[in-house]
Structure 1
Amino acid sequence: MAKIENGRQSVDTRSIRTISSSHLDDESSLGSDSEINGFTSERQTDKYGFIGGAQQHTEESAQDLPPEVLRQREVKWLDMLSHWDKWMIKRFNKVRLRCQKGIPPSLRGRAWLFLSGGKVKKEQNQGKFQELDSQPGDPKWIDVIEKDLHRQFPFHEMFVSRGGHGQQDLFRVLKAYTLYRPEEGYCQAQAPIAAVLLMHMPAEDAFWGLVQICEKYLPGYYSPGLEAIQLDGEILFALLRRVSPLAYRHLEKHKIDPILYMTEWFMCAFSRTLPWASVLRVWDMFLCDGVKIILRVGLVLLKCMLGTREKLKACQGQYETMELLRAIEPRYMQEGFLVREVLEVPVTARDVERENHTQLKRWKKNRGELNFKSPPRMHGARIIMLAEPPRRQDLQQNPTIVLEVPQPTPQLKKGKEERKSKKKRSIKKSQPIMEIPNPYSLPSDPPPPPHSDPSAPPAPPAVSSETPQTETDPPHQQQAPPTHLPPAKESPLQRSTQSLSSTDQDTYL
């Protein structure tokens, strides 16, 4: 623990790059393999796959929904995903509302891929990930990535073992990104972003999700110099003045730069800060509405921790304030409370862009031009889709499990055919009965007309004194005609399987 304490004490005097790296390293060292080995098999995982740690699921940190509510939401999301382009263009407000309520866990990975535009990107670059995956990669990045693998969510069952499938896929995704964007290379904060995606989707999908987050949602965050994250820190501080003037004045009074407390929040999209249930809800909204959600979460945490005079009495200086922001009270991070507060923060995408323009002008005035010009930021899933309209085949879903379910149309046709065949059989049954001549005719009666149906098998007429026999009766159960009657000539009845009841005999006799 001394390492963590030393890291926290010296955080104010380090450079931006060192602050980000050391803080991630220190927090990750809590879950080294030496600490985890020995009790992984004894302890049960929670419903998210965590076997311990601060982000493990608890009833206090999350709100569980009844199964019937989840089933209803799953049906609605399946319908949206099947007609994604129509919903995004015509009913995006409904999509946003359903993201705010929370995406069903069974569909979260697929929904994230559609929201981020990773699905379209993947379909338009078929085979690209496999091509990057087959290349060896830049040695300078490979060494750094391999050192960071065991630090990503070490209390999660997917990443708990060194060299396990989770760490292997994480290595593949991060290495592929360094080859895809060699000018950016690898930044340590990309690892938790990729790890969260891998918890919900295969490696190829996670790669394209990471590409979209780095290029569309948080452009420039992971580039050398971290200029974009510094700009967003100034945007956060300016918006705080409107949301919580008390917190703003306190941070300004003690000259606490935003980069000191918001770097990990923003670069990791709160994936290493909040309880896991809250992380998922924040990501649902973030991938739908863009960076304004990240800004809102930051504003809520600052307001809750520094927004009252009682809170400020406990932090009279810079060190105490930083310690307070590193130990946020769990009640403020609880899923239900946090989501409600985030939705009530009056910050829109237009506010973010306006403040971004202001801070960029101030940056150029004080520091000159940006060294790394990042692509323009996209505020949410709808803007991303409109900027790069998908083809119809780009949104087709490839199911992982195929169930052979009989189609309803052939069943109807089959039913109609069965009814028609029954009608034909009934007609065939009734016709011979009306045309059957008297098998016990007198010698004076005219002979019956010859029958030309060669298909009917010859069979002797059967007479039952009690119950009539059906068409399916076997031949050995059919009775022969009485021997005391005069023999009759061969008739159509003798060449069929129809039998006559006693009432029929009486009628004919």
Structure 2
Amino acid sequence: MAKTEQGNGLDMRGGRDKLTDNGKAGGWPGSDPEANGSPIIPGENQVDRYGFTGGAHAEEIPNEVLRQRETKWLDMLNSWDKWMAKKHNKVKERCQKGIPPSLRGRAWLYLTGGKVKREQNWGKFQELNSQPGDPKWVDIIERDLHRQFPFHEMFAARGGHGQRDLFSVLKAYSLYRPEEGYCQAQAPIAAVLLMHMPAEDAFWVLVQICEKYLPGYYSSGLEAIQLDGEILYALLRRGAPVAHRHLKKHKLEPILYMTEWFMCAFSRTLPWASVLRVWDMFLCEGVKILFRVGLVLLKCMLGSQEKLKSCQGLYETMELLRAIRPQYMQEAFLVQEIIELHVSEKDIEKEHHAQLRRWKESRGDLHCKSPPRMHGAKAIMTAEPPGRQYLKERPSIIVYSPLSSGTDGDRAEERGKAKEGKQIPSSPEEANPYLPPIDPSPLLKHTTIDGSRVSLSSAEHDTYL
């Protein structure tokens, strides 16, 4: 399908596969892919801490602080279910502070429930990758590979391991959800994930984002993103009335400026340090974080009459929103504004029902029946069944003690009686140490054998490890 090579965002005229190149000046490295797919390496080929060539060097976190955070996160990850069940607010607080880079991929996998999903579908990713794929989607995916972060060392080389993994993840998803196929906005999402985890993990996190966090976003018709655009517009009326009146005056529809923001989870809009912080919170708390980011940017750019002097028309307003001022996207400022903005899941759901009612009155029923949206990691963990079960089942194999008395003939006779269903009385003098206790209480006993059973049972119950 032909792609529009000008402007930013999604070209809605030709369908959902029209995600255009983001060519704004002053963007983060990799946001301006070359038309021929061969990125021009700027500067002295220096790679920043995020893997971008010629990128800005973000403020470093002191090593001591980083080590402390890593220790805390390792403790959480090793007892993930318990932390999520009993100390979810602490998990949320630590996500707001930023996940340590060395553990970000693992944390995202746990937050989204991707690890449980992977264990429930063991081998599925390899099975999907062994299939050729739908030629229609394969062709579009192949043409989109070079557009994803071409200034990042992982995706700079055509046919390199980064592009190969990206192709595998996107092709696998198009086969996993053939009714959806492939949407171009999924490519930057998958690319960000691949920067932090192996391809199989990235695939399952992508599945969770598409099914739980942003259901319906990548389906034909883009109805879900249009509904969320109306929700954003309604929330703006309450939080930034000046900006709302300006957009309403010039009839600037939300779909024109928020589509790329939300469908790409701001990965093509914000500086990279801010992208990662937003994703840490988004994957923990859900889509309300994307709404908060959008509201903060709109309020900062259009929230006062003084700021509106430079954009008196629709075109000027669009240009302003395509070139967000750097100070409003700066990591510390943006994160603080997001945390302080009071937009909750209830606010979003209330407005969702109102907008859905208006949609049905004016357009009829939605064509795409999406599953309900999950608002963050806690909701996903609560709703999904565990990937593993307690190891409470008794072993089905009877092990005869080598210490038991009797000849081989006696033992053969006992086995014959057991087959006939006859009970063999046990000798009270000799307990079989190889058989499990009749009424095991692994949480109360502390023998060597029972202690190992406690450890195994605990590890198996923690389904997010």
**TM-score after normalising by structure 2:** 0.79
Query: Structure 2 vs 1, CA of residues 140 and 38 (structure 1 numbering), >3 Å: closer, same or farther?
Result: closer
Q: Which runs of 5+ in 2 are unaligned?
A: 25-29, 391-465
Structure 1 residues 393 and 196, CA gap change in structure 2 (3 angstroms): farther
**Aligned-partner Cα distance in 1 for 2:43–2:127:** 37
1:345 is the counterpart of 2:347: no
Equivalent position of 2:7 in the other structure:
8
Tell me, yes or no, if structure 1 residue 57 matches structure 2 residue 53: no
Matches of 1:299 and 1:382, distance apart in 2: 24
TM-align CA RMSD:
2.3
1:323-356 residue CA offsets vs partner (Å, 9 max, x unmatched): 0000000000000000000111110001000000
Which of 283, 290, 294 lines up with 2:286 in the alignment?
290
Give the 3 Å change call, closer, same or farther, for CA 128–331 of structure 1 in structure 2: same
| Structure 2 partner of 1:48 | 50
Counterpart of 1:58 in structure 2: which amino acid? H
* Residue 235 of structure 1 pairs with residue 235 of structure 2: no
Show the counterpart of 2:113.
117
The one of 129, 135, 149 aligned to 1:133: 129
Confirm whether residue 93 of structure 1 aligns to residue 89 of structure 2: yes
* 2:163 aligned with 1:167: yes
C-alpha contact (below 8 Å) 1:51/1:155 kept by paired residues: yes
Separation in 1, partners of 2:121, 2:17: 33
User: Compared with structure 1, are the counterparts of its residues 380 and 37 closer, same or farther at alpha carbon in structure 2 (3 Å cutoff)?
Assistant: closer
What is the 5 A alignment of 1:412-491? none
Deviations 1:84-109 (A, max 9, x none): 00000110000000000000000000
- Taking a change above 3 Å as real, the CA distance of residues 64 and 149 of structure 1, as seen in their structure-2 partners, is same
State whether residues 112 and 380 of structure 2, in contact with CA within 8 Å, keep that contact through their aligned partners in structure 1: yes
1:390 offset after TM fit, Å?
2.2
Instruction: Using the TM superposition, name which of 183-192 and 385-394 deviates more.
Output: 385-394
Q: Aligned runs of 1:135-214 on 2, under 5 Å?
A: 135-214=131-210
CA contact (8 A) 1:33 1:160 kept: no
Equivalent residue letter for 1:32: E
Q: Structure 1 residues 164 and 223, CA, compared in 2 at 3 Å: closer, same or farther?
A: same
The corresponding residue for 1:305 is 301
Deviations 1:367-417 (A, max 9, x none): 0000011110000000000001324579xxxxxxxxxxxxxxxxxxxxxxx
Distance between the aligned counterparts of 1:242 and 1:36, measured in 2? 45
Per-residue deviation at 1:36? 5.4
Larger radius of gyration between Structure 1 and Structure 2 = 1
Secondary structure of the equivalent of 1:8?
coil
Determine if contact 1:57/1:275 at 8 Å carries over to the other structure.
no
Farther-moved stretch of structure 1 (203-212 vs 384-393) = 384-393
Q: Give the number of the structure with larger relative contact order, counting CA–CA contacts within 8 Å between residues 6 or more apart.
A: 2
Q: Give the match's secondary structure for 2:306.
A: helix
- The answer on whether the counterparts of 1:145 and 1:171 sit within 8 Å (CA) in structure 2 is yes
Please give the alpha-carbon distance, in whole angstroms, between the structure 2 residues aligned to 1:390 and 1:49: 36
Deviation at 1:31, TM superposition (A): 2.4
Aligned to 1:335: 331
Quote the Cα distance in structure 2 between the aligned partners of 1:36 and 1:344: 42
- Measured after TM superposition, the shift of residue 41 of structure 1 is 9.8
Amino acid at match of 1:113: L
Residue 23 of structure 1 pairs with residue 20 of structure 2? yes
The answer to whether the 8 Å contact 1:240/1:299 transfers is yes
Q: Is contact 1:7–1:22 with CA below 8 Å preserved after alignment?
A: no
Rate the CA distance shift 1:33–1:391 in 2: closer, same or farther, 3 A. same
Q: Counterparts of 1:321 and 1:122 in 2: how far apart (Å)? A: 44
Q: Does residue 365 of structure 2 align to residue 369 of structure 1? A: yes
Cα displacement (A) at 1:291: 0.2
For residue 74 of structure 2, what is the aligned residue in structure 1?
78
Cα distance between partner residues in 1 of 2:365 and 2:78: 45
Aligned partner of residue 111 in structure 1, secondary structure: helix
Q: Distance in 2 between matches of 1:20 and 1:140?
A: 12
| CA distance in structure 2 between the aligned counterparts of 1:118 and 1:112, rounded to whole angstroms | 8
Tell me, in whole angstroms, the C-alpha distance in 1 between the residues paired with 2:22 and 2:35: 14
Q: Secondary structure at the match of 2:103?
A: helix
> Take 1:31 and 1:15, find their aligned partners in 2: how far apart are those partners?
21
Partner of 2:350: 354
What's the CA shift for 1:20? 7.2
Following the alignment from structure 1 to structure 2, what is the Cα–Cα distance between the partners of residues 315 and 66? 42
User: CA contact under 8 A between 1:20 and 1:263: conserved in structure 2?
Assistant: no
Count of matched residue pairs: 383
Identical-residue share of aligned pairs (%): 71
Residue identity opposite 1:387 in structure 2: A
1:441-464 Cα deviation digits (max 9, x unpaired): xxxxxxxxxxxxxxxxxxxxxxxx
TM-score between both structures, scaled by the size of structure 1 = 0.72
Q: Which amino acid aligns with 1:8?
A: G
CA 1:340–1:119 in structure 2 vs 1: closer, same or farther (change >3 Å)? same
In structure 2, distance between residues paired with 1:372 and 1:17 = 18
- From the superposition, tell whether residues 19 and 392 of structure 1 become closer, same or farther in structure 2 (CA, over 3 Å): closer
Aligned pairs (5 A) from 1:314-325: 314-325=310-321
Name the CA distance, whole Å, in 2 between partners of 1:203 and 1:285: 22
Q: Secondary structure at the match of 1:7?
A: coil
Inter-partner Cα distance in structure 2 for 1:33 and 1:22: 14
Q: Report the Cα distance in structure 1 between the residues aligned to 2:143 and 2:22, rounded to whole angstroms.
A: 10
Match of 1:257 among 241, 249, 253: 253
2: CA distance, partners of 1:393 / 1:173: 29
